[in-house]
């Protein structure tokens, strides 16, 4: 967990304040990204859930624009890293250089020392560069030459990648993918939104007109508010059941990690707070299962041969898994119980 680096009083917001702040940010972003309110909301939820976002889609649908709009809407430090094959880990984390005047090594912070880090085309960098992000994303700190530097709060990495083009790219390793709270796809805009985009972007880039509507302190308070959202036992059980189901599903070689359970609940809390609720619903988990879990699991070779996407597998699990405490009037429980008793 991070601790705020500058210590102004931060308390939880009331429901109304929270909603006003969140609405302002979302409205701001939507000036740039038309017709994608669900995606925008999810991106904001990931920010409030203290997670990192992986935006994966074909070129030209506004991945980078979303990342930048989110960054612009919040008055905080923003750094952008263009991942290229020749990018080095020290470019990301920072490097110690020898200062002639002080006759000492001086740490030059890298690109991750910001509240919002936008990593563009992350899969174009070599794995060694990608792995420079591992520590900072999870532990929110950077260790260079044995010295550990804390990162600011909030800290969020928004990375984009192109899933179609494989040439010259390095797929993210499992450890890296597991650090992203959610993977979202932009999707093509519908014709109306595309028309609005044409008229809006005709003469100038609306991104330039974007003003910040929140600052880092407000985001920290948003985060604190979301943490206080109530997740009932039944909801937690359901989250565990969902994650466990991915580990037990026959089509999955590697299921979701315990970290993903935590992030699922956190994101659900943020979503619930964004909807003005102070409690998490299984509906939230159902809606978040695919973005939060799908990019972490590895399907079996058979499933891959059958062109089963991880999204499809996860959403099938969601549709198969009964809610905890839900009454099933059709289920006699006979077959299963007796089967289990015989199986021993």
Partner 1 sequence: MTGRRRLGLVAAGSTLLAAAPLTVIFESWTWIAQCVLAVALIEGAAVATRTFRFPTWAQAAGMTLALLLALTWMFSSGKEIIVPTPDTFAHFADLLRQAGEDTRAFGVPVPDRDGLLFVAVLGVGAVSIVVDLLTAVFRRPALAGLPMLAIYSIPVAVYTDSVPAIPFVIGAAGFMWLLVADNVDRVRRFGRRFTGDGRDVDVWEPSPLAAAGRRIGVAGMLVAVVLPLAVPNVEGGLLTQLTQSGAGTGPGSGNGTGGRINLFASLSGQLNHTTTIPLLKVTTDEPEPFYLRFAIADVLNDNGFGNESPRGSGLGLGLPDPRRQAATQLSSYTEHHARVEITKDLQQNMAPLYSYAIGINNLNGSWAYDQNQQVLYSSRTTTRDQAYDITYLRARYSPEELRQAPRLAANDALMAYTATPGDATVETEVARLTKGKTTDYDKVRSIYNWFSKENGFKYSLATQTTGKASEIADFLTNKTGYCQQYAAAMAWMVRAAGIPARVAFGFTRGTPAGGGVFTITNRNAHAWTEVYFQGFGWVPFDATPSAGVTGSARSGSNWAPDVDRPTPTASTSTGPGAAVPDSSGDPGAANGPNKSGVGEDPAGTTGPAPETTDWTGLWIAAGIALLLALLLVPALRRVLVRRRRHAATAPVAPVVLAAEGITDLTVTAETGRAREDAHAAWDELIDSMVDFQVPVDPTETPRVTAQRLVRDLSLTGEPAEAATLLGTAEERARYARQPLQGAELTSALRRIRSGMSGSASRRTRLRATLLPPSVLLNWRAGLSEWSTRTAERLSGLRESLTRFNPRRLLTRTR
The residue ranges that bind partner 1 (CB under 8 A) are 12, 14-15, 225, 228-230, 232, 234-235, 277-283, 286, 318-323, 325-334, 337-338, 341-344
Count CA atoms within 13 Å of residue 254 on its CB side: 11
> How far is the C-alpha of 256 from the C-alpha of 3, rounded, in Å?
28
Q: What are phi and psi of 11, to 5 degrees?
A: -120, 165
Q: Could you say which DSSP state residue 209 is in?
A: G
**C-beta closer to partner 1: residue 273 or 303:** 273
Tell me which residue of 253, 243, 255, 244 sits closest to 303, measured CA to CA. 253
3-state SS class at 82: strand
Rounded least distance, CB 242 to partner 1, Å: 11
Name the residue nearer to partner 1 (CB basis): 33 or 229: 229
**Least separation, in Å, of the C-beta of 156 and partner 1?**
24
The distance of closest approach from Cβ of residue 201 to partner 1 in the complex, given in angstroms and rounded to an integer, is 37
Q: Is the Cβ of residue 92 or residue 229 nearer to partner 1 in the bound state?
A: 229
Minimum distance of partner 1 from residue 42's CB (angstroms): 19
**Residue with Cβ nearer partner 1 (146 or 335):** 335
Start-to-end C-alpha separation, the chain = 44
CB nearer to partner 1: pick between 134 and 323? 323
DSSP letter at 279?
B
Distance CA 88, CA 159 (A): 17
CA 188/CA 158 separation, integer angstroms: 20
Distance in Å, CB of 84 to partner 1, minimum: 45
CB of 230 to partner 1, least distance (A): 5
Closer to partner 1 by CB, 2 or 286: give it. Answer: 286
Q: Considering the complex, state which of residue 88 and residue 318 has its C-beta at the smaller distance from partner 1.
A: 318
The distance of closest approach from Cβ of residue 237 to partner 1 in the complex, given in angstroms and rounded to an integer, is: 11
State which residue, 168 or 329, has the beta carbon closest to partner 1.
Answer: 329
Q: Would you tell me the crossing angle of helices 37-48 and 258-274 to the nearest 10 degrees?
A: 120
199's tokens: 């008229």
CB-based burial, 98-126: b 16+ in 10 Å, e otherwise:
eeeeeeeeebeebbbbbbbbbbbbbbbbe
Residue 108: strand, helix, or coil:
strand
Whose Cβ is closer to partner 1: residue 1's or residue 326's?
A: 326
**What's the half-sphere exposure (Cβ side, CA atoms, 13 Å) at 196?**
12
Name the minimum Å distance from CB 281 to partner 1: 6
Q: How far apart, in Å, are the Cα atoms of 188 and each of 54, 306, 322?
A: 17, 26, 33
Residue of 236, 254, 234 lying closest to 303 (CA atoms): 254
- Min dist CB 190 to partner 1, Å, is 22
């Amino acid at each position: 967990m991070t601790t705020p680096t500058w210590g102004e009083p931060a308390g939880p917001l009331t429901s109304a304040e929270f909603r006003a702040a969140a609405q302002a940010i979302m409205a701001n972003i939507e000036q740039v990204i038309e017709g994608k309110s669900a995606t925008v909301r999810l991106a904001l939820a990931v920010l409030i859930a203290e997670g990192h976002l992986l935006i994966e889609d074909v070129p030209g649908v506004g991945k980078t624009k979303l990342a930048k709009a989110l960054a612009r809407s919040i008055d905080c430090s923003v750094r952008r890293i263009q991942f290229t094959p020749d990018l080095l880990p020290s470019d990301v984390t920072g490097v110690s250089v020898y200062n002639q005047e002080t006759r000492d090594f001086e740490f030059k912070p890298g690109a991750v020392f910001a509240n919002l880090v936008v990593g563009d085309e992350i899969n174009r960098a070599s794995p060694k560069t990608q792995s420079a992000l591992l520590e900072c994303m999870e532990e929110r700190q950077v260790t260079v030459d044995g010295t550990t530097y804390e990162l600011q709060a909030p800290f969020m990495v928004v990375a984009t990648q192109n899933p179609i083009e494989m040439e010259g790219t390095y797929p993210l390793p499992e450890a890296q993918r597991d650090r992203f709270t959610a993977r979202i796809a932009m999707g093509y805009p519908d014709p109306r939104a595309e028309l609005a985009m044409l008229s809006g972007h005709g003469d100038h880039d609306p991104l330039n007109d974007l003003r910040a509507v929140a600052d880092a302190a407000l985001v920290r308070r948003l985060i604190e508010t979301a943490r206080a959202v109530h997740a009932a036992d039944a909801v937690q059980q359901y989250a565990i059941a969902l994650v466990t189901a991915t580990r037990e599903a026959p089509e999955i070689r590697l299921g979701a990690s315990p970290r993903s359970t935590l992030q699922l609940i956190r994101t659900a809390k943020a979503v619930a707070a964004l909807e003005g609720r102070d409690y998490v619903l299984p509906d939230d988990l159902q809606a978040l299962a695919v973005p939060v879990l799908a990019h972490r699991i590895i399907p079996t070779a058979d499933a891959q041969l059958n062109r089963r996407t991880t999204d499809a597998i996860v959403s099938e699990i969601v549709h198969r898994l009964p809610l905890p405490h839900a009454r099933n009037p059709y289920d006699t429980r006979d077959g299963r119980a007796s089967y289990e008793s015989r199986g021993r």
